[in-house]
Chain A
């Protein structure tokens, strides 16, 4: 890329705070016309915030906010998405924002319908919508409502809309996550054409192979800062993952404390070639009784979906599950719970707590049928359990009757963990159990998990922080693009080996290879 040219978009020293918490700290981004630029980072690294600042969804109006933004040679400050759109920035969001019951053509021309004599020029809309769809290789009836199309086709319509606006800059925020290989190839064709026409593309994706296939340069963000900028070809996959996760390779190590021959333990959970559309394409793993197995992988690799499949929250399309000697056919989480499987979901607010209910009720919701005689809850027994857990795992609350929404994130998480532990499950699924909680609570929960494995419970857990995963797991299964690709344990388990497995899609030399079919 010719860096002596004037950049199309230049963002420098961008600061953005939410309620005093920094989301961006001195972040920067530079793009040139005719380039495809990868913007990557872990969850919470700030890339979404960055995109929303560019597209005018977030202003830089707070007292601590600031930064210079230049677009097409002039300093700008967008205050609404409309303003950014009119200046030539077109965005395709991950969650498709189409109007479901309006026709495909209406969606493509939404807000900019061509008019004739003051009325909408429908023949022209239909004609031009068909042309716009032809560019992305989609041929559907443009008069049909968008909701009648598949998710992938809807994504293609959104792309067609973004491309048909004569934009100088097209931002694609995880546009490929719902597309299959053929559709991704079509999208790449569109991107190459945009590039030829001298437009710039910002490409956000968690699939490393895609980044290398289509992007010219890359900007890596971490903790709200821009930590790396280079041509795509000049950084190896391993370095890219390392930069993104922020770990120095040399220090990767593992406490060699509980080094027993873990594989000898009998398999409690056996997952074989599990597929769930669209994310899971072949997951095979085992968890033994008393064993803690870590699930590693980038955001969007399928960690949450793997746990949901084991818990019966999503139906399997292929593959099999066994718990102990028994084959599982789970249609609802209730079935999994009855078999002794517990699942601590990743998103506390959306999938975990009942905000208006008390700590007592939140903690005993799963156990409630067992605490009842003839359907009437035994208050005394309920309170005994609640008081016991509050004391045992150190939940800071004014009492069992306090509404859970008033607790801190860490204490909410402890209540939810207690909800499942009260059930004495055989298998515990923990999806990011320490996410978004303070350091003290983190240590408490880590200790708790450690103690649980000693009681013979099988634990499958995921964590974005590799250090945590390595120190807490007996074994780690690496997932990449919805397939389990490696299994690491003992000597071969370290942050380094996990990262190279994530980056290369295979196990580094000297480690045994896991299954990768499906």
Chain B
């Protein structure tokens, strides 16, 4: 890791320097009216060598999947095969325009059509839309579909969305954006949905106000909801629909089609399960799949066959467009490449090895850390980091950084005290997991023998723990914003 301070891009600027080499003007000039013309443009002026070193050095201040183990729970930081990048960089993809007309975009339409087909089959859904650009965007689409479904039946009283307390924050936020009131369902002692609380929320008149349930399965504890069929049945009997959050689909590829156990509509994260890189925050792709009951409400357009040709079509009762054009095509090309190389057997191997790796890791970690829900996990599990007096999860996380690992997800899910959520993914080797578990064991020992050292971690990084409270109190959000 590069620990040397790197100047701000503006501090590297010197008037008269430039990187871009543009063609000279070969047409007559037209004057720009003074009332429209801008006076100043304060952008940096930098030569290409300086620029290349700046961004190379910045990149070296990141931990990444390419450089180290990155067991960020619920984020599925699997290795992203390089062939995906080559496949996505074809000039025929990059230069294609969304409005050039169907006749002239048959290549892009074919890829989307084939990807839609494979993803629908993996989920057991009758149709899907690749328009949503991220997981939360898929969620919003899905809950808008649930809303539109009820409204289309004249059932306008269904204003509540049930969400387990273990859910990602995006679930309640997406529901609120779609106009629903969120009803939180607690978890039971086994880490699953509390069936008694669910039944109460669905009983009598209260049940008539329930639009649906959003469920993540496996849930954010890494546990499979064993009662999923019963849960879906209860929601359906009350007139509600079941939304599946596909954040944790990596445990189920080729193992279970979510539609088979009663999920009506669901998003998949192509940037998690289907190996497209996270890019420091995105872009993602939040494909949304639906069963027969909901498929006409999908956002679109989606790609269909029109005779011999591929074409675009808006589903009959569509909630509309959730994004301009057809989705993050550059993410789809990567996911397509990955799926074509895996096939059905490869997909099942993904889930099998993801679950095997997580359970192996769990056995090693359990030796030193407590688990609130010690039952067999799926693709991830949640431990607690408070291994010694005065030591918190954050200290373990920062200690891991000095050991050369990206920390797992911490302080989530909210229902586990001092949570530390570990997801190894299927691409990691046994050796890497052994090294990580070994580091975790050493940190547990250090927590008792030398807690001060852990409180001071990390010490191998460009900066130590940053004062986030002060940063939010008097925010400096741009170079010129510095007072």
Please say whether chains A and B are actual partners in one complex: no
A residues apposed to B, CB below 8 Å: none
